[in-house]
Amino acid sequence: MSRRLDRARAALVVIDVQEKLARHIHEMPAVQLNIERMARGARALGVPIVATEQYPQGIGSTVAGVADAVKQGAEFDPIQKMTFSCQDCEEFRAALGLADQILLCGIEAHVCVYQTGLDLLDAGLSVHLVTDATSSRDPRNRQVAIDRLSSEGAKLTSTEMALFELTRSAGTDEFRMISRLVK
């Protein structure tokens, strides 16, 4: 079994990038840009995307730029949840389909991203935490979540690293598109 990301086996999970929370997140402009890059790259490479919203009535909708990057066609239909771990939501588990390599990003790193990552690992899936597309209000909480997920078996990656790993080779239209995205 290959340790490399394989677009036929992967799914991108974008967790809870919502308006009322996003404005308080450490380095949010850079994090949002990387989430948008991940989503556009995943779409271009045919990698399925699953987005979630935690209690949208209270925390608001997904940030407009992220919703635009994530949506397939004309619609954006995030999975709404009340649980911290996305894995506790039946609709989320069904949306992952057969993907066994999960690219994980979003907010907050130490709550919903962390708990989802642990549960995905417990389910036997390969978790790839996109560290530059994941944050928390407090950078210390972000770092603890990254450290803990890594020690539990998640693989750490970055937006550019993951997108080029999924692309696999230069000289293609996909490569040129991904290159433009990360510049």
- 86, 105, 112, 119: the catalytic one is 112
- The answer to whether residue 81 is catalytic is yes
Find residue 15's DSSP bridge partners.
52, 106
Alpha carbons 124 and 27: distance in angstroms, whole number: 32
- 16, 86, 105, 132: the catalytic one is 16
- 81, 86, 119, 132: the catalytic one is 81
The sign of the CA dihedral 6, 51, 133, 46 is positive
Kindly list the catalytic residues. 16, 81, 112
